[in-house]
Amino acid sequence: MLNRAAVVPDFHSSLQALYGALRKARALTDGFFARLTPQAMYARSIAERHRVIFYLGHLEAFDWNLLGHRVFGQKAIQPELEQLFAFGIDPVDGQLPRDEPSDWPTISVVQSFCQQIRRHLDATIERWITTCTAPSRSIRDALEMALEHRLMHLETLSYKLPHLPLTSFVPDSFVPLSEQPGPNRPGYDRVGVPHQPRIVNIPAGPVTIGRNRDDYFGWDNEFCAQTVQVPAFAIAARNVTNGEFLSFVLDGGYQERTLWTDPDWQWKTSRNLALPILWSPRGKDYFARASFEELPLPLDWPVTVSLAEARAYVRYLHAKDPHTTARLPSEAELHRAAYADAEAWTAQTQDAVAEAALRQFPWPGPEAVPLVHGNFGGIRHDPCPVGAFPEGDSPLGVADLYGNGWEWTQTPFRPLTDFQIDPRYPGYSQPFFDDKHFVIRGASATTDVRFLRRSFRNWFQAHYPYVFATFRCVYDHRAQSPS
């Protein structure tokens, strides 16, 4: 028989740990806003997103609407502001927001709103943890949802940093590359030199996308696991670098109409794009904007581009070499590259298959350690050179599958079989099943470790160049190295 006396204290401790994690995440988002000048708080550094001031209020409004209203049944505190800050935006087809800075409340009004929300919510959470007499999964999951929502926004807010003028930051808030820990040399000896990436053969086998419903928190698009049989293929051991993409630029890739699909060309032309969005020419040289500084183009970093630009690059490879089989990977192929173990699958034993299926990460062991297994976890703000984390390689030798940039796939973001909308956040996934959003896999430098779980699914529009995302090519099995 279940020992309730043992279960409730354990549940208390798990709730206290979640509540503590939420408070730590608040400190991180508070730290982000504290870097910015008052003028920068009203900037719209990304045209498709709200001004920064929205996110200051949104994080608390989301927590209150989810936990205060839906879970604990509390009445509205400031209904007008709770509604104003309720929802973010992701416009498609060029429908950009047109609000002005004057349309938003002052910083002091928003800060007062946030403080009021936190006081009420903290008192309610602390009272409930103290007095609860039985475990409640709904409350635990709601706390996890609030925590992960905030950590997601911490990352997407970081996408704004390279697009803000350097005058947007308060003194002493800069974190230049020289002060960011992590390796500064590429692992070309393992992953292949520029223009000749090492090609890794991946044997045919099954992968599981998502997971079955269990006792742990997940977003609605993660559930109803789907097993896919993946044919044998080959994959580049590393991502495309800035240096390699520079060849595409210098060869006129942005001006060559045949390299772009009709929608991609129309988008590129409407934006007057002639370079990756973080690059800028300076005489005959190119510079790149990092989070807090501009620097000569780091040739060994993974290139950060939209899916549209990645697709054009692949067509460029075909124009250079008609025999290449290069293409962008599918969601299933990136899963397979991360977890396939040639010996385990060849053995075809139940134990070997089960072991591979249960492995949480491409590398051995149950932990993901930032700047050991990859560039993730928010320790750095900017990328590292490709292939710099050998301990994070997959069993077959594919590098950087988690960290240093999300990776574009050619897979449209769609629901798994028997998908069910989560009523606590009905707009999280379903509005984006439109074949205009595509799955990205992996993690960026600013991705929290929580999102490295193998069932997590992320997505962005093909024409969104602001996400910290890169790409690599896959090929027919046993394909020769591209020229």
402 versus 10: which is more confidently predicted? 402
345 pLDDT exceeds 50? no
Q: Are 274 and 251 in contact, with CB atoms under 8 Å apart?
A: no
Task: Please tell me the predicted confidence (pLDDT) of residue 8.
Answer: 53
Token pair recorded at residue 156: 């997407």
Percent of the chain at pLDDT exceeding 90: 86
Q: Of 176, 444, 370, give the one whose Cα is nearest residue 291.
A: 176
SS3 253: coil
How confident is the model over 327-343, as a mean pLDDT?
Answer: 91
Task: Please tell me the predicted confidence (pLDDT) of residue 92.
Answer: 75
Task: Please tell me the predicted confidence (pLDDT) of residue 347.
Answer: 45
The CA distances from residue 74 to 65, 123, 178, in Å, are 9, 12, 48
Token pair recorded at residue 206: 């099954």
> In 10 A of CB 482, how many CB atoms?
20
30 versus 12: which is more confidently predicted? 30
Task: Please tell me the predicted confidence (pLDDT) of residue 352.
Answer: 46
Rounded Cα gap, residues 292 and 160, in angstroms: 11
- Over residues 387-418, the pLDDT tens digits come to 999 999 999 999 999 999 999 999 999 999 99
Per-residue pLDDT band at 243 (split at 50, 70, 90): very high
Per the DSSP assignment, residues forming a β-bridge with 469 are 406
Rounded Cα gap, residues 193 and 304, in angstroms: 19
The DSSP code for 362 is: S
The CA distances from residue 34 to 28, 59, 146, 195, in Å, are 10, 15, 21, 42
Task: Please tell me the predicted confidence (pLDDT) of residue 43.
Answer: 95
Rounded Cα gap, residues 478 and 234, in angstroms: 6
In DSSP notation, 61-91 reads: HHHIIIIIIIIT-PPPSSHHHHHHTS-----
How confident is the model over 332-341, as a mean pLDDT?
Answer: 95
Q: Note if the pTM is more than 0.85.
A: yes
- Over residues 18-64, the pLDDT tens digits come to 999 999 999 999 999 999 999 999 999 999 999 999 999 999 999 99
The CA distances from residue 166 to 52, 303, 381, 413, in Å, are 15, 22, 15, 35
- Over residues 178-229, the pLDDT tens digits come to 999 999 999 999 999 999 999 999 999 999 999 998 889 999 999 999 999 9
Task: Please tell me the predicted confidence (pLDDT) of residue 133.
Answer: 76
- Over residues 244-283, the pLDDT tens digits come to 999 999 999 999 999 999 999 999 999 999 999 999 999 9
Token pair recorded at residue 278: 């973080």
Per the DSSP assignment, residues forming a β-bridge with 405 are 443
How confident is the model over 80-88, as a mean pLDDT?
Answer: 93
> In 10 A of CB 206, how many CB atoms?
16
Rounded Cα gap, residues 7 and 135, in angstroms: 8
Pairing of strands 437-443, 405-412: antiparallel
* Contacts of 89-94 spanning 24+ positions with Cβ under 8 A: 89/48, 89/49, 89/50, 90/48, 90/432, 90/461, 91/48, 92/434, 92/436, 92/461, 94/270
SS3 19: helix
The DSSP code for 42 is: G
Task: Please tell me the predicted confidence (pLDDT) of residue 356.
Answer: 54
Q: Of 418, 413, 449, give the one whose Cα is nearest residue 428.
A: 413
Pairing of strands 469-470, 405-412: parallel
Mean predicted lDDT score pLDDT of the chain: 92
> 294 phi and psi, to 5 degrees?
-110, 140
H helices of 71-133, where? Answer: 79-84, 107-131
Q: Are 372 and 383 in contact, with CB atoms under 8 Å apart?
A: no
Per the DSSP assignment, residues forming a β-bridge with 470 are 407
Task: Please tell me the predicted confidence (pLDDT) of residue 461.
Answer: 97
SS3 150: helix
Task: Please tell me the predicted confidence (pLDDT) of residue 353.
Answer: 52
> In 10 A of CB 252, how many CB atoms?
11
The DSSP code for 476 is: E
- Over residues 106-152, the pLDDT tens digits come to 999 999 999 999 999 999 999 988 888 777 888 999 999 999 999 99
How confident is the model over 367-385, as a mean pLDDT?
Answer: 98
How confident is the model over 432-447, as a mean pLDDT?
Answer: 97
Distance of CA 337 to the CA centre of its chain: 18
| Burial grade of 227 (CB within 10 A; 0-12, 13-18, 19 or more) | exposed
Q: Of 50, 45, 261, 29, give the one whose Cα is nearest residue 162.
A: 45
Distance of CA 317 to the CA centre of its chain: 27
Buried b (16+ CB within 10 A) or exposed e, 87-119: eeeeeeeeeeeeeeeeebbeeeebeebbeebee
